[in-house]
Amino acid sequence: MFTDDIKDTHIGQTAYIVGKGPSLNYLTKTMVKEGLVITLNQAIIKVEELELPNSIYSLQKDQFTVPVKESTTLILHKHESVKTIGKPKLSYLEFDAKEMGFPIDTFSAIIAIKMAEIMGCVKFVFISFDSCTTGDVTTFDTSKPYFPKAYVTQATKMKEYVKNLNCEWITPKRKPIALITPTGGRPEQIKHCMGFMKNQTYSGPVIWILVDDCYPTTVNTVPEDFREDWTIVKFYPFPIWKEGDNTQARNLKAGIEEVKKYDVDAVFIIEDDDYYTPKYLSVMTAALKGFDVVGEIQTVYYNVQLKSERRCVNTKHSSLFQTAFTPKMINLFEEVLKYQEKYIDISFFKEAKNIQFLKGLNLSVGIKGLPGRGGIGNGHNSSMYRDKHEKVLPENLRNTIKETYKL
């Protein structure tokens, strides 16, 4: 009988029960101390990556059977284990929720707690139960379906079930992403950029590095308490910019030097004179998973003076303003900055590998024709917009841009 097999096998120990909240992506080895680990369903994928020395149990109760390492003890519900018959080299323990005193639809977390109690555990640490701690009902494994309504119900029942246990909750915090914005002499642009960043739906920590090389400075308008969990860093390179200078590479170098002081998940180049939709950071961060570089291709430009738009033909690189990369690409980016003062984006993508290009999402739009210090890209040339009737943006986005840049 299953309960006899596990009874008193971990007397007096702590049970780490690992859920599937999105914070699981940020679980580190140091967060798990001595004790046994019980993972729920797909959570075993992340936990096995850590190569923990603990006894690991993979409780798989809901729909999907995930392969596990030989060192992991697989525990399957009776109605799931039937599906494994005939699969070679697959060993597991089998349990029946009804025999443990629970209805068959009892949440996996509660089943895991009961198992740990039978094993003799006296303390419980719940990891990545985001629905209980932060209210986030999404899951770390975006390749599998999830049911938000069920997770809301689970959170309520879970908190009620554990209220008399000796327990604690750990919700791993994601690493920050870094944004680098070279600017200066463009007060209208930095005002709009502040608005776009203020409206981002991305909820993780952010380090926003603003490099202002003009006088009078404009980034002083960005307050230190700009947004919760955002760190604002300001640099003022010298000598200051003067008409005819191209200081883009210098200012990006200053931003990269600051990024290297932090342990970040990603680096974004956010240019002050371009339009960003509220979901820009969220979608780009998600798209970077499994890749070293992500960018939008076939860039759309909108000229606010001419009220005209055009789609570019770039298919092998994205513009810098719609590019993000992982820390492992910082060295390459720095190398490009050493020899390239213009068309940095083209040179960077020419050398980069493991790239994900996004097409047709309209997460960002290159804005041209704004007043103040001019840009250096080809898109600022009015001759590019000879066809003033070209329509490439969705109507709602076009109207939003027109409303945003009333001149």
Mean pLDDT for all residues in the chain: 88
194, amino acid identity: M
Are 50 and 30 a contacting pair, CB within 8 Å?
no
Q: How many domains would you assign to the chain?
A: 2
Sort 331 into a burial class: Cβ within 10 Å, 0-12 / 13-18 / 19+.
exposed
d(CA 76, CA 61) in angstroms, rounded, equals 6
| Dihedral sign computed on CA atoms, order 23, 28, 29, 33 | negative
CATH of the domain at 356: 3.90.550.10
Domain limits for position 368? 177-404
Sort 228 into a burial class: Cβ within 10 Å, 0-12 / 13-18 / 19+.
exposed
Same-domain check for residues 100 and 19:
yes
pLDDT in tens, 356-393: 999 999 999 999 888 876 655 555 556 666 666 678 89
Is 406 a residue whose pLDDT tops 90? no
pLDDT in tens, 8-41: 999 999 999 999 998 998 899 999 999 999 999 9
Same-domain check for residues 154 and 184:
no
pLDDT in tens, 347-366: 999 999 999 999 999 999 99
Same-domain check for residues 39 and 145:
yes
pLDDT in tens, 307-348: 888 899 999 999 999 999 999 999 999 999 998 778 899 999
Same-domain check for residues 310 and 276:
yes
Is 151 a residue whose pLDDT tops 90? no
Which of 135, 170, 205 is where one domain is finished? 170
Same-domain check for residues 156 and 214:
no
Tokens standing for residue 271? 């240019």
Is 185 a residue whose pLDDT tops 90? no
